Amino acid sequence: KQEVTQIPAALSVPEGENLVLNCSFTDSAIYNLQWFRQDPGKGLTSLLLIQSSQREQTSGRLNASLDKSSGRSTLYIAASQPGDSATYLCAVESNTGKLIFGQGTTLQVKP
């Protein structure tokens, strides 16, 4: 059974710092991996989708990488801002078409 783990569960950094969020999965047979952002009490906003054949995707200050063989993905946030404070979730698409989520990393960026 696919399991997705995100470490750390919470992270607090000063504004301007570059940071890395980690996501690991137990079964490397995935179709894609997606990173989401969730603000308190709200739904999920899609940030980046990495297909299984890709190594990385970039959008603005965000860069996500994927290493299927080791079962890992990282989300790199450059020059963090207080507006980046949120919970970040990764999800893998299994061969059944379902999305399996990690528990998320709650990020606080202090001014």
Partner 1 sequence: DVKVTQSSRYLVKRTGEKVFLECVQDMDHENMFWYRQDPGLGLRLIYFSYDVKMKEKGDIPEGYSVSREKKERFSLILESASTNQTSMYLCASRSRGRRTEAFFGQGTRLTVV
Q: Binding residues for partner 1, per CB under 8 A?
A: 31-32, 34, 36, 41-46, 49, 51-52, 89, 91, 93, 97-99, 101-104
Nearer to partner 1, 80 or 89 (CB): 89
Task: Provide the minimum distance between the beta carbon of 37 and partner 1 in the complex, in angstroms, as a whole number.
Answer: 11
Smallest Cα–Cα separation from 109: which of 92, 85, 89? Answer: 85
Q: How far apart are alpha carbons 93 and 75 in whole angstroms?
A: 17
Task: Indicate the residue among 71 and 102 with the shorter CB distance to partner 1.
Answer: 102
Under a CB-based contact definition with an 8 Å cutoff, are residues 47 and 35 in contact? yes
| Under 8 Å between Cβ of 21 and 108 | no
Give the nearest distance from C-beta 74 to partner 1 in angstroms.
19
* 34, 48 contact by CB (below 8 A): yes
Write phi, then psi, for 29 (nearest 5 degrees): -85, 70
For partner 1, the closer CB: 25 or 80: 25
Least CB distance from residue 46 to partner 1, whole Å?
5
* Distance of closest approach, residue 72 Cβ to partner 1, in angstroms: 19
